[in-house]
Structure 1
Amino acid sequence: MALFVIIPTVSDTSALDKAMTRYEKKAYQLPRGEWLVAYEGTSRQLSDELQVTDNQLGVPCVILGFGSYFGRAGKDIWEWISVNSA
């Protein structure tokens, strides 16, 4: 599965937060409202599925795929990435 980060570009992310419930354990919300997502598809397909592309969701977002990572964060974030990047 590919890993993505969804970065909302507005402060009200309630519609995005609700839409992300469909991904259950394949999604992890970061403290500032961004989401990590494990998804079998492209960033465009994820955007289409979330209705970001056509703006039906009403929350503009940038969706980036990533394959490498480094930094300092809580243990739970690293565990989620480790489990979902396998």
Structure 2
Amino acid sequence: MPKKKALAALVAQVDDPQQVLERLGILSLVNEDRGAQTVRLPRIHDHVPPPGVRRNTEASRIRMRRKRAHDAGDHSMCLDTCTLREG
């Protein structure tokens, strides 16, 4: 991420964002490339689920919404396989 963006995110939360970046660098939580003016988050994959997991989460929400409606007697959201669906 651009260093300016990282500093902007920290400005609202701390008094000295550059010092915070340096401390995070000491702890190996960020890698600052001063030449390119970028900050890399080496362990971001530990915190952000991959796109497939995010899509699966949304699909599960929709599936459960349909199931709850079906169980409550509302078949307007049911798929074509539902025998109780009208139309």
Q: Which has the larger radius of gyration?
A: 2
Same fold (TM over 0.5): no
Higher relative contact order (CA 8 A, sep 6+): 1
Output the TM-score relative to the length of structure 2.
0.28
Output the TM-score relative to the length of structure 1.
0.28
